[in-house]
Amino acid sequence: MVFKQTSIEGLIEIYPRIFEDERGLFFESYQCETFAKNGIPFEFVQDNQSFSSAGVLRGLHYQNKPYAQGKLVRVILGKAIDVAVDLRPNSPTFGKYQKFLLDAELQNMVYIPEGFGHGFAAIEDCIFTYKCTNVYNKASESGIIWNDPDLAIDWEIKTPIVSVKDLVLSTFQQLFGK
């Protein structure tokens, strides 16, 4: 596996080694010792999976402490633009985001630490899967509106399909006063 540290501390893109032959392919998507040696020494306690039609945008979501979650995200079918926003107040990259193209053919993944907002836009029909370092807790969930003017994220979709719940999320300014 290749682990690539991004410009935001703790946010890591991962490319597995893929073995292909006439039968198909095989790769290791997670191995705790390898991940720990590369800066991801966390126990994952919950796995989630969703299907999204092309054009669907989900996010930006996060959970507050004590239920904050780190996430290991990837698509197992299709392509998605994945976005992680640094919401750690003492971080030098607070309020900055990083975009990734998650592609089922590449099988690339992103580790998103606790303290980040997260969302994705389905470029194609996609199955999105992620491992979490903490369990979901409804009372701890929060989020930032997908089209926040201060973040100005280019989701690469002209007219995204967004849930009613995600359409009424707060702005970055309302949540963090910055």
Query: Among the options 15, 30, 61, 111, which is catalytic?
Result: 61
SS3 (DSSP) at 42: coil
Least Cα distance to 176 among 82, 98, 86, 92 occurs for: 86
Exposure letters 83-103 (e unless 16+ CB within 10 A, then b): bbbbbbeeeebeeebbebebb
Distance in angstroms (rounded) separating the CA atoms of residues 169 and 148:
10
Active site residue 130: yes
Query: Among the options 62, 118, 130, 136, which is catalytic?
Result: 130
- Concatenated DSSP letters of 51-99: EE-TTEEEEEEEE-TTS---EEEEEEESEEEEEEEE--TTSTTTT-EEE
Distance in angstroms (rounded) separating the CA atoms of residues 30 and 82:
19
Q: Please give the structure tokens belonging to residue 54.
A: 């092309």
Q: What are phi and psi of 13, to 5 degrees?
A: -95, 140
Positions marked catalytic: 61, 130
